[in-house]
Amino acid sequence: DHWLQHRKQIGLLSFFCAALHALYSFCLPLGRVNRYEVVNLAIKQVLANKSHLWIEEEVWRMEIYLSLGVLALGTLSQLAVTSLPSIANSLNWREFSFVQSTLGFVALVLSTLHTLTYGWTRAFEDSHYKFYLPPTFTLTLLVPCVVILAKGLFLLPCFRRKLSRIRRGWEKDGGVKFALPVDHTLAQKTSHV
């Protein structure tokens, strides 16, 4: 139960960080630096004598990663709302378990895909490796990708059966053993209940 409480706090923290990330992304175009970048892009376009700057791949990449980010934030919002005590108490265990485990994993996958599409091919370009260090978005993908791969591994039939048995209360020995004091010689050393 104590570990589940920590998982809840980590999930709420991830929702808070995602909400701050979305808010910051909305406010970013309002900054003065972004206005200068737009003006510089317009000047470069005039100097290059190009009337149309539409790069199809960049447009699709942006649309995909924004859509995945919105979906991930929406899923995290559902998780945050269902973790409120008043709503969590109104759900039965099956509904609560589905929301927290299944939707939690979906949110992780959507967030990971959001970061992957943000990076797109930039992870493989030499110009993004400053001081021989990879870009930050590749470093942030390490833990989520390991978790997704482990979850995929545990979904294989050989692991899935054993995990479902453990969740239902199965133990390897099948009984509880109690050790008696060393000076007790009349009874067996262990008792199977």
Give the global pTM.
0.76
* Mean of all residue pLDDT scores within the chain: 84
Evaluate whether residue 151 is within a structural domain. no
Residues whose CB is less than 8 angstroms from the CB of residue 118 and which lie 6 or more positions away in sequence, other chains included: 65, 137
The residue range of the domain holding 75 is 2-140
HSE of 119, CA atoms in CB hemisphere, 13 A: 18
The domain tally of the chain equals: 1
Only one residue has tokens 């709503």, namely: 87
Evaluate whether residue 81 is within a structural domain. yes
Residues whose CB is less than 8 angstroms from the CB of residue 85 and which lie 6 or more positions away in sequence, other chains included: none
Tens digits of residue pLDDT in 130-156 = 888 888 888 889 999 999 999 999 999
Q: And the tokens for 117?
A: 């599409």
> What value does the mean pLDDT take over residues 9-38?
87
Evaluate whether residue 39 is within a structural domain. yes
> What value does the mean pLDDT take over residues 122-135?
82
Tens digits of residue pLDDT in 158-167 = 888 888 888 7
Evaluate whether residue 182 is within a structural domain. no
